[in-house]
Structure 1
Amino acid sequence: MIQKIVDQASRFFVGALFIFSGLIKLNDPIGTEIKMEEYFEVFAEDFGSFFLWLKPYALEIGLTLIVLELALGVAVLIFYRMNITTKVLLALMVFFTFLTFYSAFFNKVTDCGCFGDAIKLTPWESFTKDVILMFPVLHLFWYRKRYAPVLYSREGHAVVGGVTIICFVVGIYAIRHLPFIDFRAYRIGNNIPQQMQPQEQPVFEYTFKQNDGSLIKSEKYLSDTLTYKYVGVEQLNEEKTKAKITDYAVYDADGNDITQSTFEGAKLLFVIYDAGKASVKNMDKIQQLIKGLEGKVDMMVLTASGAAQFETFRHEHQLAVPYYFADATVLKTIVRANPGITLWVNGTVQGMWHDNDTPTAADVTALIH
């Protein structure tokens, strides 16, 4: 009886968690790509340049891992070919546990991206989560040969194969457009200057030892040194005192900080973080948008490309818009497209578009007034 309870608990816990984690990342494959690039850069420094060769394929590798995670979650729930499913599951868990331990112990990647931007975990929280998850995974692996599949072979193949195909289609759609649900600090409706401020003022808890040797905690510092001896202090809301956006900054060609000006009035920002990799198939639509808004809306391009490279790109595609510079990772976070378009009015995000969904001038002006 107990064995069956553990079997079912392990099955549903592992399957549900893998599906939940996979769906969050499938919503935003570009976010996983960014995280994979971080890991490849760190591994290249520590283990060799081989990992830099993988960096150009971070998106494909990330999407494949996401789909694999979802397919494994479904496979576990229906006990599909558990001999091979649990072997792949265990291998994936060993891989994830190594990544989270490496990140936590060496403080290399401060966010593993396990649940995308929806749920932020510290490196040690991510590692702890993987260690806990390893127990039901090991249980399923150990008893893998005794589980009877829920479906017949043909139906099982159809379910797992169908899930795999659907997940690839959904992931590719999210890449070619924008995330279905936006969990980022730059999402529509957010005011960027507010996101750059701490959420709360710090709250401290002081620990004192009384004359009888007992400890007492207080949110105020007790100045009576005859009665209380100071022991230490702990900040209770450290995470909430951190701003959600800490790295947004924009500079002109002379290195002058013009960040504040991006929050003044209506600004249509064209984000082209890498001119060398930017899609150009919709440049005609972007050119029409620029012409339609000329004299009506303040427009600017934000890029992480070098000045010479972007100047060439700008003239080649007739982008009659001033350009400024920002960090590439920040630009990828602002909008998951290259190029991407976002409308800010007094610092509040009013619109966001992938270049495949380039708006008309009327669409933009309707959001301003």
Structure 2
Amino acid sequence: MKDKNLHIIQEVVANMCRFLLAASFIFSGFVKAVDPLGFQYKIQDYLTAFGMASWFPSFFPLLGGIVLSAVEFFIGISLFFATRRTLATSLALMLMIFMTPLTLYLAIFDPVSDCGCFGDAWVLTNWETFGKNIILLFAAIMAFRHRRMLIRFISVKMEWLVSLYTLFFVFTLSFYCLDRLPVLDFRPYKIGKNILEGMTMLEGAKPSVYESIFILEKNGEQKEFTLDNYPDSTWTFVDTRTILKEKGYEPAIHDFSMIDLNTGEDITDDVLTDIGYTFLLVAHRIEEADDSNIDLINEIYDYSVEHGYKFYCLTSSPEEQIELWKDKTGAEYPFCQMDDITLKTMVRSNPGLMLIKNGTILNKWSDEDIPDEYVLTDKLENLPLGKQKVSSDAHTVGYVFLWFVIPLLLVLGVDVLVVRRRERKTAKRKQQEKEIKSKEPETKNQGIEEQE
């Protein structure tokens, strides 16, 4: 009786740990899959912080991020349905054994601000992440140790189909969001947000003190300047960075600053308070930007000039790279300097396009989805394009959920109606054969007795 009670307790604990791990890995893998570029930037931060950026090819952070998000999502779904129990629990345990000491190091030495385990959907401090990983490590140990006690929702014969479909779904989702834009936007620059409001401080709060450092070059010599001692136009811009001088309250948007490269002036307030339309072409590194759709971009600039709308290209690249871009693409639009991280946060595309009005983000497009002349047939005031794009995170999650769940329900239906019925019939037949065989000696003995 004691052993039976112990077995029940172990089974309950193992399955509770299994569902906790499943929820964590599904959520973690999903939010990374819908924002593959965001996770790429986080991996680049890790490699830079540990001095390993030069160890890997340039495509590694993106490819590695997509693969890791797929693995996490696969582990979560496998644990939820209890398919591939040995593989899923082993992978979960190995990841937690690796991540737990890593996050302890991050918590102590703080080389990166957050681990990025849940992307921008749920930002945890490094100590909060370490505490979470301690709990998940214990759950992974229990699930692995008692993996045979995990209750299956899918038969063994159908689990391969669930595994293949899970990987197909998560890879398809990642590459779709990479080609377009994330289907869910967890950043402060999502459609419908007002940038000025996002920059507003809470009343009475003490702000963080930042300083912009500009690296300029003249006669082969590079020097650092601030806005207070910014030199004349004989100096050539090389790079810029923002440093935190004093920590305080930080609003959702704290580093949005547009520096006009023609005049060197900060035009942020002029742009964000303009009641007209403004197109912002976002190219965080202009030398790495895709120029395959540059004709569409130039057409939108011509359209803006024709109808009196503002158009700026925002980049963090030095002036020589901007000049190369102009020569290569024939760009005539004005350029503004902005922080690289801010640009990466605004639009997950290089280049990407944003439409704002009075500081409110009306729409965003990836390089592959830029509106063309067939859409821009009139003034923006008369087009649906000029209205704020209506989107609902709940509806989006529902659609994605249905795309994943409906095929799985079909698999479950086949599993219940066909596979398991066949297994029951097979088991019943084997039981009958066993009973017949067990009766054969009795029949033979009866025959012998009758002959005697």
TM-score after normalising by structure 2: 0.68
CA displacement at 1:200 relative to structure 2: 5.4
Q: Is 1:5 matched up with 2:12?
A: yes
Hey, what's the Cα distance between the residues in 1 that align with 2:38 and 2:14?
34
Aligned residue identity for 1:6: V
**Which of 181, 185, 195 is residue 178 of structure 1 equivalent to?**
181
Q: Is the partner of 2:280 in helix, strand or coil?
A: strand
Give matches, 1:257-296, under 5 Å: 257-265=266-274, 266-295=277-306, 296=308
Aligned to 1:31: 38
Encode CA deviations 1:234-270: one digit per residue, 9 max, x unaligned. xxxxx99431112222223364333223313232100
CA separation of 1:3 and 1:200: change in aligned 2, threshold 3 A: farther
Q: Secondary structure at the match of 2:345?
A: helix
| Runs of 4+ with >6 A deviation | none
Aligned counterpart, 2:171: 168
Deviation at 1:36, TM superposition (A): 0.8
Contact 1:345 1:368 in 2 (8 A): no
Counterparts of 2:11 and 2:190, CA distance in 1: 45
Task: Using the TM superposition, give the Cα deviation of residue 145 of structure 1 relative to its aligned residue in structure 2, in angstroms.
Answer: 4.9
On the 8 A contact 1:90/1:137 being kept in 2, the answer is yes
Return the match for 2:252 from 232, 238, 244.
244
Q: Which residue of 2 aligns with 1:312?
A: 324
Whichever of the two has the greater Rg, that structure is 2
Summarize the Cα distance change of 1:198–1:240 in structure 2 as closer, same or farther, 3 Å threshold: farther
Range 149-158 or range 133-142, more displaced? 149-158
Partner of 2:402: none
Deviations, residues 163-210 of structure 1 (Å, cap 9, x unaligned): 10111011100011111121110111111111112245459xxxxxxx
TM-aligned CA distance change 1:174 to 1:199, over 3 Å:
farther
1:331, 1:49 → 2: CA distance?
21
Identity of aligned residues (%): 33
User: Which of the residues 158, 161, 177 maps onto 1:158?
Assistant: 161
Q: Is the 8 A contact 2:284 2:316 kept in 1?
A: yes
1:224 paired residue number? none
Query: How many pairs align?
Result: 330
Q: CA RMSD, aligned part only?
A: 2.3
Residues 141-169 of structure 1: per-residue CA shift (max 9 Å, x gap):
22235557543444111111111011101
Q: Do structure 1's residue 20 and structure 2's residue 27 form an aligned pair?
A: yes
Q: Name which of structure 1's ranges 252-261 and 54-63 shifts more when overlaid on structure 2.
A: 252-261
Deviation at 1:288, TM superposition (A): 1.8
CA offsets, 1:305-336, max 9 Å, x none? Answer: 11111111122112220011112111010011
Determine the structure 2 residue equivalent to 1:111: 114
State the one-letter code of the partner of 1:26.
A
Instruction: Decide which structure has greater helix share.
Output: 2
Q: 1:328 to 1:202 in 2, by over 3 A?
A: closer
Amino acid at match of 2:369: D
Q: Name the SS for the 2:269 alignment partner.
A: helix
Instruction: Please identify, of 85-94 and 257-266, the stretch whose mean Cα deviation from structure 2 is larger.
Output: 257-266
2:127 counterpart of 1:124: yes
Report the Cα distance in structure 2 between the residues aligned to 1:287 and 1:154, rounded to whole angstroms: 56
1:327 maps onto 2:330 in alignment: no
2:79 corresponds to 1:76: yes
Alpha carbons of 1:138 and 1:278: their partners in 2 closer, same or farther (altered >3 Å)? same
1:193 aligns with 2:202: no
Report the Cα distance in structure 2 between the residues aligned to 1:240 and 1:132, rounded to whole angstroms.
31
- Between the aligned partners of 2:287 and 2:155, the Cα distance in structure 1 is 50
Look up the SS of the partner of 1:276 in the other structure: helix
- Please give the alpha-carbon distance, in whole angstroms, between the structure 2 residues aligned to 1:250 and 1:169: 36
The unaligned stretches of length 5 or more in structure 2 are: 1-7, 207-246, 388-452
Of the structure 1 ranges 1-10 and 65-74, higher mean CA displacement relative to structure 2 is found in 1-10
Quote the offset at 1:82 in angstroms: 2.3
Partner amino acid, structure 2, of 1:252: D
Pair 289,20 (structure 1): closer, same or farther in 2 beyond 3 Å:
same
Q: Which residue of 2 aligns with 1:359?
A: 371
Secondary structure at the residue paired with 2:287?
Answer: coil
Comparing 348-357 with 249-258, which one deviates more in the overlay?
Answer: 249-258
Amino acid at match of 1:343: L
Match in the other structure for 2:66? 63
Pick closer, same or farther for the CA change 1:28–1:290 going to 2, 3 Å.
same
Is 1:345 the counterpart of 2:353? The answer is: no
* Alignment-mate amino acid for residue 280 of structure 1: D
* Counterparts of 1:362 and 1:274, CA distance in 2: 31
In the superposition, relative to structure 1, how do residues 201 and 138 fare at CA in structure 2: closer, same or farther (>3 Å)? farther
Cα 1:201–1:97 change in 2 (3 A) is: farther
Structure 1 counterpart SS, 2:265: coil
